[in-house]
Chains A and B, each alone.
Chain A
Amino acid sequence: MPRQSFRAFSADLEKLAQQWAGTAVTNEKWIDHGPFAQTESKPFKVSCGEVVGIAKPGEKKTDGICRAAHEKIASDLAFELGLPIPPVVLLDMGELQDAKRERHVSISAFAFPQPIPWDKATTLTEQHKNDASEVMSAMLAFETWVSCTDRKSDHVLVYFASSTDPVQLAFVDFAYAMSQQWGRADDPAGATHPYLPVQKDDATAKATVERIEQFDDEKVKAIVGRIPVEYLPEDKRALIIANLKYRKPRLRTLLGIK
């Protein structure tokens, strides 16, 4: 019986995920703790009460890529499909003193207390790798659906407190997906290729494809439709809705699944 969920987040994080899956933009007050990492989107750390997250982009971009919207849509779709993308919510930071800062950002909650990128997790057991193979196969189906092709092992975070615990995985960074890849309503974008050194699990890939095929188009419209226009212009909104529908029946061919 295929797994219904590949999420291994804490109960608190799943409660937050449930809350954020029901809303597009947070109206709570968040504290900006300053730059967090040197990556392309210039993320910065934020907190609200006991919740800590990474907000991005940290500066205004002129490339037209809807980073925050893509992160939010990917997280919400993954929540519905039981896939391990940490919860994301959008934030309007209001008028900022620094004119170079971006006002409309996404916040991604930290998934684990001590995350490590996949290739630094050198004590994975065979059981951990077998479990990861299932999760990876499910995520490849999803990442192909949303055309997130810029993937590497740095985008997979690993955690376990004790080596006898099951491995917990989180997949991050979906800014370069969807309307960043698609140029037309029936875009021929290809599959996401495997990027972790684990076996492919065909049964899991197939089961995930089936779940995506059955995903309600109205639910897709609702998730994408509620993103405010400041984060997602109407033409890109239409492009994303059209391609998510277009790609559903084509995933089997793209992924080589019968």
Chain B
Amino acid sequence: MSQLQTLMHPKSDEPKSAIMEGQMRYSAITFHVDMTKPCGLVIPIGVMAEILFPTIYALGLIARTELSADELAVVSDVSKPIASKPFAYLATQFNEAWDALAPGRALRGLAEKHAYSALHFSVPETTPFYQLPAPLSAPLPMRATVRMFLGTLLDERMQTLIQQMQEPANAPQQQASPQQELLQLKAKAAAA
């Protein structure tokens, strides 16, 4: 089941040029079973990403809705409220950051908040700039394009994260547990 939320505001600025350059940043979210060990087990949880253009800002989240029984068995009681239903927890964090932080600050703010936590956000990575051709700079096609870019990035990074955390190549592939996604867009990005 896919849960998709969008929030649209009227575009308030005309683009300064026909072609706009943006930034995309993402952070992988993982649960570390033992942070005191150099090679402790790491459970893939989700990905959060943001897109920043001069006139639009988008934030997205994709995460697992639950952990497997084997995974839950190694989660401590103190961590269970935030790790056992990852999407539910991360969605509240997502919404709080969306409401409270300026455009372009949400991902960094959440990564800082979880800096020392077993539920960990990787240091946000910036992906290459995307340039929109002029006809797509008009409001409606632009929002649809941004949503597409963001959704694609989330799916791709989530797949990569799960593959990286898989057992060695000769082990049977595990089916990924159910996931949910959440996207928000708003007009007029602040300076990053």
Residues of chain A touching chain B, judged by Cβ–Cβ distance below 8 Å, are 13, 31, 33, 35-39, 43, 47, 50, 52, 54, 109-117, 120-123, 154, 157-163, 172
Name the A residues within 8 Å of B20 (CB-CB): none
Q: Tell which of B82, B108, B124 touches A116, judged by Cβ atoms closer than 8 Å.
A: B82
Closest A-chain residue to B79, C-beta based? A114
Are the CB atoms of B123 and A113 closer together than 8 Å? no
The minimal Cβ–Cβ distance linking A202 to chain B, given in whole angstroms, is 28
Which of A13, A43, A117, A158 is the most central at the interface, judged by chain B CB atoms within 10 Å of its CB? A117
The minimal Cβ–Cβ distance linking B8 to chain A, given in whole angstroms, is 29
**CA separation between A114 and B38, bound complex, in Å?**
14
Q: Tell which of A38, A50, A52 touches B115, judged by Cβ atoms closer than 8 Å.
A: A38
**CA separation between A257 and B40, bound complex, in Å?**
45
Q: A39-B112, A115-B117 are in contact. Are A161 and B76 (CB under 8 A)?
A: yes
Closest A-chain residue to B108, C-beta based? A38
**CA separation between A118 and B123, bound complex, in Å?**
21
Q: Tell which of A52, A117, A121 touches B37, judged by Cβ atoms closer than 8 Å.
A: A52
Name the A residues within 8 Å of B38 (CB-CB): 31, 33, 47, 50, 52
Where chain A touches its partner, the secondary structure class is: loop
Contact digits for B59-81, partner A, Cβ 8 Å, 1 yes 0 no: 00000000000000001111111
The minimal Cβ–Cβ distance linking B50 to chain A, given in whole angstroms, is 13
Q: Which of B28-36, B129-137, B139-147 interfaces with chain A?
A: B28-36
Q: A39-B115, A115-B118 are in contact. Are A120 and B82 (CB under 8 A)?
A: yes
Name the B residues within 8 Å of A43 (CB-CB): 115
**CA separation between A45 and B38, bound complex, in Å?**
9
Closest B-chain residue to A108, C-beta based? B116
> Which chain B residues in 38-64 approach chain A with CB under 8 Å?
38, 40
Q: How many A-B residue pairs have CB under 8 A?
A: 96
Are the CB atoms of B114 and A117 closer together than 8 Å? yes
Q: Beyond the given A50-B37, A120-B81, could you list 17 further A-B residue pairs with CB under 8 A, ordered by the A residue number?
A: A13-B36, A38-B112, A38-B115, A52-B36, A112-B36, A114-B78, A114-B118, A115-B35, A115-B118, A116-B78, A116-B82, A117-B114, A120-B117, A122-B82, A123-B77, A154-B112, A163-B77
Are the CB atoms of A114 and B33 closer together than 8 Å? yes
The minimal Cβ–Cβ distance linking B73 to chain A, given in whole angstroms, is 12
**CA separation between A151 and B121, bound complex, in Å?**
22
The minimal Cβ–Cβ distance linking B114 to chain A, given in whole angstroms, is 7
**Complex A-B, nearest 9 residue pairs according to Cβ-Cβ distance, in ascending order:** A37-B115, A114-B118, A47-B38, A38-B111, A113-B34, A35-B123, A163-B77, A110-B35, A114-B76
Are the CB atoms of B77 and A116 closer together than 8 Å? no
Q: A52-B35, A114-B33, A120-B82 are in contact. Are A160 and B115 (CB under 8 A)?
A: no
Q: A50-B37, A52-B37, A115-B35 are in contact. Are A37 and B116 (CB under 8 A)?
A: yes
**CA separation between A74 and B66, bound complex, in Å?**
40
